[in-house]
């Protein structure tokens, strides 16, 4: 895909990034499947839940539709997640008790710091308080890279879908041209058959022949599909314009395909010709393929 080319995106994508920042090993994975709206789900360590809403907003800035699942893993290294402190109350209690016993038993007071630290509960080991802004800044950096890869994959898949939809639209346009070639002859054949039948029915009656011709023409016009093919061409033109645009087009494409299908159904119900009926079946098959494709376009 060249720079400046229109971009459509698939709703299926995956992006992953992992970095070590400020003593934290951070992994972010983003994946999505098709969905009518933007649906966000996350798996984040409970102690870091405060980044969830920010992460949701970050992803929403680049994703308009799809069921999005994001997973965040944060592992502290180098002991950055712990703080070690002296339990002064416990240490003081040990000192007072040991020195009291030394006085009572008349033994030398050889208590040292190295003796003290071996005693139970002198140290307090606790989780360090996070700098939430720092944590979010690090996660956001990793998430940005994962999101970039995620969007790139969506665009690559979207370009394949764009080419496929355009190819199918061109094929439908070819079929429309064949219908337009067959339709006038079909209408004329129908008019002749109807005129002949009316003439036979009214053969022995005093009926104006011009009236028979007029009535045959009126009924035969009911099987003409000129208006439907014109509208179908217009819808195909709109479809091409949409897939060549840079906007989010999934819902609009779905509407246009519905309109195209309506015109094709009308052609099928009006046409009194087996060849046109076969062409209608071909168009409906291609429309169904397009519909399946656009279900996954953002």
In a domain, 6, yes or no: no
In a domain, 220, yes or no: yes
Same domain, 113 and 212: no
Show Cβ contacts of residue 183 under 8 Å, excluding neighbours closer than 6 positions.
Answer: 224, 225, 226, 229, 271, 276
Is pTM beyond 0.85? Reply is no
In a domain, 4, yes or no: no
**For residue 156, what are the CA distances in angstroms to 13, 40, 81, 105, 168?**
10, 22, 40, 84, 19
Same domain, 68 and 199: no
Same domain, 120 and 106: yes
**Strand-strand pairing, 24-33 and 38-43:** unpaired
For residue 57, the domain's CATH number is 3.30.230.40
Same domain, 58 and 174: no
Neighbour-count burial of 125, counting CB atoms closer than 10 A to its CB (0-12 exposed, 13-18 middle, 19+ buried): exposed
CA angle, 9 then 53 then 145, to 5°: 45
152-185 per-residue burial string, b: 16 or more CB within 10 A, e: under 16: ebbbebbbebbeebeebbeebeebbeebeebbee
**8-30 pLDDT per residue, tens:** 889 999 999 999 998 899 999 99
Tokens of 282: 């071909």
In a domain, 8, yes or no: no
Instruction: Kindly state the DSSP code that residue 223 receives in the 8-state scheme.
Output: T
In a domain, 60, yes or no: yes
**Strand-strand pairing, 24-33 and 13-21:** antiparallel
* Residue bearing the bigger pLDDT, 5 or 182: 182
Neighbour-count burial of 203, counting CB atoms closer than 10 A to its CB (0-12 exposed, 13-18 middle, 19+ buried): exposed
Domain range enclosing 41: 13-78+132-154
Same domain, 47 and 150: yes
In a domain, 110, yes or no: yes
In a domain, 140, yes or no: yes
- Judged by average pLDDT, the poorest of 14-18, 138-142, 188-192, 217-221 is 217-221
Same domain, 92 and 180: no
Number of folded domains that form the chain: 3
**42-88 pLDDT per residue, tens:** 999 998 999 999 999 999 999 988 999 999 999 887 656 566 677 78
């Amino acid at each position: 895909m060249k720079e400046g080319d229109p971009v459509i995106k698939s709703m299926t994508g995956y992006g992953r990034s992992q970095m070590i920042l400020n003593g934290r090993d951070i992994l972010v994975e983003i994946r999505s499947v098709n969905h009518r709206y933007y649906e966000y789900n996350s798996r984040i360590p409970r102690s870091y839940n405060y980044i969830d809403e920010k992460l949701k907003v970050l992803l929403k800035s680049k994703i308009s539709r799809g069921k999005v699942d994001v997973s965040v893993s944060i592992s502290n290294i180098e002991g950055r997640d712990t703080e070690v402190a002296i339990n002064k109350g416990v240490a003081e209690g040990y000192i007072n008790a040991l020195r009291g016993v030394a006085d009572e038993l008349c033994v030398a007071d050889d208590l040292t710091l190295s003796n003290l630290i071996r005693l139970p509960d002198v140290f307090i080991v606790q989780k360090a308080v996070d700098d939430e802004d720092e944590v979010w800044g690090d996660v956001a950096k990793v998430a940005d890279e994962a999101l970039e890869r995620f969007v790139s994959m969506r665009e690559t898949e979207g370009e394949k879908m764009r080419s496929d939809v355009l190819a199918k639209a061109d094929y439908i346009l070819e079929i429309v041209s064949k219908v337009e070639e067959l339709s006038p002859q079909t209408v004329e054949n129908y008019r002749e058959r109807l005129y002949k039948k009316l003439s036979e029915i009214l053969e022995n009656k005093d009926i104006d022949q011009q009236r028979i011709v007029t009535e045959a023409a009126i009924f035969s016009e009911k099987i003409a599909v000129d208006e439907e093919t014109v509208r179908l061409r217009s819808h195909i033109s709109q479809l091409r314009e949409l897939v060549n645009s840079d906007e989010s087009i999934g819902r609009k494409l779905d509407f246009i395909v519905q309109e195209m299908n309506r015109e094709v159904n009308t052609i099928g119900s009006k046409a009194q010709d087996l060849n046109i009926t076969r062409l209608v079946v071909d168009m409906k098959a291609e429309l169904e393929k397009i519909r399946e494709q656009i279900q996954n376009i953002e």
